[in-house]
Structure 1
Amino acid sequence: MERRGFLLWRLGLLVLTLMDGSFATLSPSGINYEVVALMAIKNGLNDPYTVLENWDINSVDPCSWRMITCTLDGYVSALGLPSQSLSGTLSPWIGNLSNLQSVLLQNNAISGPIPAAIGKLEKLQTLDLSSNKFNGEIPSSLGDLKNLNYLKLNNNSLTGSIPDTLSKVEGLTLVDLSFNNFSSSVPKIAARTFKIIGNPLICGPNSDNNCSVVYPEPVSFPPDGVKDGSESGTKSHRVAVTFGVSFGAAFLIIVIIGSFVWWRYRHNQQIFFDVNG
């Protein structure tokens, strides 16, 4: 009996462990917190072509919804709604999707401010809100996104100053803030590509800002891609030089042999004519 009770206890513990991975986002009442956040986002948007039709408040698993990508353990990792003719506003509830790595809402007509709650998404790597109608200032909380690589806010109606907090994000590859209405000075943002063209208040004719693509200060060692390119360029140059030298030598030998054959031919002709005479 004791052994049977021990086995039942181990089986129950295993079931609870498996359930913990599957329902980690469930409240005690069985409500999925991520479902609630996504439904708040849906309710804030106007969806003329019903692309969000299968987003259901009664669902316990949003991973089967359109435009949603999840991790292997069932957390929402990507929200991809580009070019879907969406309007309305972006709900601050997006900050409750704590496992988001990518947010793609470009090429819509979403307006209103950018929610400061996005700054809570510690795993976020890509944020693309370009070509919308967002207004107001860039939230300073975006400087808390330590894993952010790509930030595209271009072609909106954003105003105010570019927050200094963005200079604290060290892993940025691309920051595109072009074609807005930013003012004031431009902070030093350590991104490989930084675009601010099309902001008349900071890129006017009397401005000291360089509104073309801005690159950071040169690093001690080139990136892997640049290094590989240099090595391949050097190898190509060496191959070209070697081929040129070889071709030149072969051509010179052919010229010498040809000249010798021509001289012998002319010499034999002269002897033949003398004998006949």
Structure 2
Amino acid sequence: MKLHAQSLAVLDRIRHAFFTREGGMSGGIYASLNSGIGSNDDAAHVAENRARMAHALGVDAARLITAFQIHSPHVVVAEQPWNVETRPCADAIVTKTPELAIGVSTADCGPLLFADPKARVIGAAHAGWRGAFSGVIEATIAAMEALGAERGRMTVALGPTIRRENYEVSLSFVDEFLRADETHARFFGPAAREGHAMFDLPGFIAARLERHGVGQFEDLGLCTYADPGRFYSYRRSVHRQEPDYGRHVSAIVLAGQA
């Protein structure tokens, strides 16, 4: 049902999980732990699945929150729970509030969980290529620093993400990255199809984190596309011509009095 990053698991009074697709009540293409509020799955199933995730994180269902994600660099500070109707548009959440589980929803994009245990500040970021390219990682670091964290003390973990061997992109995609920085060429390799390349999203994410001086980074090294038994994948659903796809939640929480 859930995976852990060793680097986060050893931190005092911090709980986290990268949830897989296993352990829920959804059926069909959503089987079984679909957390996708925006999916076409039965809303009652999604609510129950999210309640199970909240329980696994040790919080009430209402205290597991995610934002309305828009593939942006926008970050919000969470001080209390919100609901589906009031959730903000953002792709990262940071908080100092105890017993508030902040999470991101993914199905190929990179789920990043951040923690500075000394400052008691945590963050969660949705780092797809657009968000990572436009600065969501840097914005998350800055938002955590505004709450008292220090980047050199931050531990950051990357959960299940689509990997280079399964991430084919167009040459116009490559050109966009090269126009921004020619050294981005190292994140692309040859593809079997002419006019395409393979993109290393986890490598790009890792390089951004290293460039901005976070203290410790761990990549779980798992590919969403390559493991249909454990993970949802937007790209795999497109290739299979499925009508929709499930989503995972990755979340982190400060242990303490709410």
Q: TM-score, normalised by structure 2?
A: 0.28
Relative to its length, the structure with more strand (as a share) is 2
Bigger radius of gyration among the two: 1
Ranked by relative contact order (alpha carbons within 8 Å, sequence separation 6 or more), the top structure is 2
Taking structure 1 as the reference length, the TM-score comes to: 0.26
Structure whose residues are more often helix by fraction: 1
